[in-house]
Structure 1
């Protein structure tokens, strides 16, 4: 295996808006896409408690993003030899004792096959409780498992902040989707419009309630390269999953000439559902409730980029 965690390509300084300003931007975006909206600035909830079950009691303090690898490690040819390590990446980012969360591709050498990941690591307390989701032969077609390894493959969008600090964050709750955009693209598009020319990166959690949600879980690796994006999309396994779902999300206002993935969100649940979030499929009943904070920097690690024919959504 080729360990790529120390391949630091760039460090990007973010524009960090005041929380009250972010509140206004997010409130405007949600109000254009949901019937009922409430946005506030408040203290982060205790993430160790139900329903989040995280290894840290809070997030957001001195937060940075580690943008690791990318979809180009999957397409057109899978880079199976590459491996990454959350502990090493945290050291590269100058945060050896950080709380780390975010979406990515799981440690297939440990799980036994290609899988999705929701990272969850409190390095200060030496506790890792990452969720992996993979396809299987069981009746519903997939399985969710915890792993205690810091390893992962292909790609991840990781938020690193001070462990066990419940900082101030932007809280939102919105109900009944009236617009066509999903929740994360709705917010990200507003960031891009409002902060044009500036890199603003957000990360956090949201809960999907009273809804069914379209997600995908990657199958095991293909035997030959992907020809185009249509073939990739046909390869993915899609499911309609039930709430509540806990989502970990990272988004950027722009790629910043470093091939940043503009938005990436993975979800998990106590009932075993989860995967890569696409959109809710019951807009008349859906409720979203979440917490977001802005990152100070982006550490671009092992930068890769896709050809135009394989550009990810």
Structure 2
């Protein structure tokens, strides 16, 4: 049995969140727009998600955690999207987000974009990016037809219903923050209580620095330098479709506050860090606010290393 703590949120209205986003975007991008719109069909191109909308009992789940990977991997920590959805009270719901693959199924570690519907009518459209040969840097982005994931996961769950969402566009970066850092910075500064957000965004033009985890390290990883020397970093090209979860503040649940993974049709994908082409970069995203946070199976021994 997995432990679960459900933390109800004092969810704000969209209007003050939009103002917060606008303030942060103004300091980081030359051009931007924030508006409340009807959610488009996210199953259509270019999004290609399993869920049509972001509405219906929206929830953020933080499962496991980085301490299951660092300093040494606990490969026995394997999770199932159906189980996570049940623990969140969203059986037969939709799940998107960022996690690691179930290494026992894939044969090695890799970055995973969770994207599926749970329950008896479940469908999985998840994608993973892995290093092909740990002695080199070649990678591949492929379909992952499994409900299982490993070690950690930052997930957004809902009923997939249509409804109002926050639409954000931004281009020509002039500041130092990545797209999600920028949005979350405003929430952290403007709201006393935690605000949890989930959704999807496109890097529609430009390039980004991403990492892809290779095989598990043979030696313990104790510092950020150890982690960065182990990871494989690449500059990859848009368009890149991301699933993302971010939380403004940790209400004492040992959360990872931001996590975004991406995939593409042209073979690029991984863990998003920041764009590398500030003069040409363009973003577009759709986001919803969560009603609650579900903290599932937190590590008994924790730390803050490797959570960027």
- TM-score bin (small chain): over 0.9
Secondary structure at the aligned position of 2:54 is classed as coil
Match of 2:169 in 1: 173
The normalised TM-score by structure 2 is 0.95
**Distance in 1 (alpha carbons) for counterparts of 2:145 and 2:306:** 32
Contact 1:229 1:312 in 2 (8 A): no
Change in Cα spacing, 1:12 to 1:43, as seen in structure 2 (3 Å) is same
Contact 2:54 2:287 in 1 (8 A): no
Match of 1:231 in 2: 226
Q: Which moved more, 1:296-305 or 1:230-239?
A: 296-305
1:82-97 equivalences under 5 Å are 82-97=77-92
Match of 1:127 in 2: 123
Match of 1:107 in 2: 102
**Distance in 2 (alpha carbons) for counterparts of 1:307 and 1:107:** 22
Contact 1:8 1:299 in 2 (8 A): no
How many residue pairs get aligned? The number is 305
**Distance in 1 (alpha carbons) for counterparts of 2:91 and 2:303:** 34
Correspondence 1:154 to 2:151: yes
For residues 106-155 of structure 1, the C-alpha deviation after alignment (integer angstroms, 9 at most, x for no partner) is 12111111011000111253111111110014997101111221100010
Secondary structure at the aligned position of 1:68 is classed as strand
Let me know the Cα RMSD of the aligned residues. 1.5
> Shift of the alpha carbon at 1:34?
0.4
Match of 1:282 in 2: 277
> Shift of the alpha carbon at 1:190?
0.9
**Distance in 2 (alpha carbons) for counterparts of 1:311 and 1:173:** 29
Match of 1:186 in 2: 182
> Shift of the alpha carbon at 1:224?
2.2
Secondary structure at the aligned position of 1:206 is classed as strand
Match of 1:296 in 2: 291
> Shift of the alpha carbon at 1:311?
5.1
Mark the runs of 5 or more structure 2 residues left unpaired by the alignment: none
For residues 236-267 of structure 1, the C-alpha deviation after alignment (integer angstroms, 9 at most, x for no partner) is 00000001001111000112111111100101
Secondary structure at the aligned position of 1:32 is classed as helix
**Selected match of 2:256 from 242, 258, 261:** 261
> Shift of the alpha carbon at 1:312?
2.5
**Distance in 2 (alpha carbons) for counterparts of 1:178 and 1:217:** 27
Match of 2:8 in 1: 13
Match of 1:145 in 2: 142
Q: Which moved more, 1:293-302 or 1:15-24?
A: 15-24
**Selected match of 1:40 from 35, 44, 50:** 35
Correspondence 1:49 to 2:44: yes
Match of 1:3 in 2: none
Contact 1:75 1:306 in 2 (8 A): no
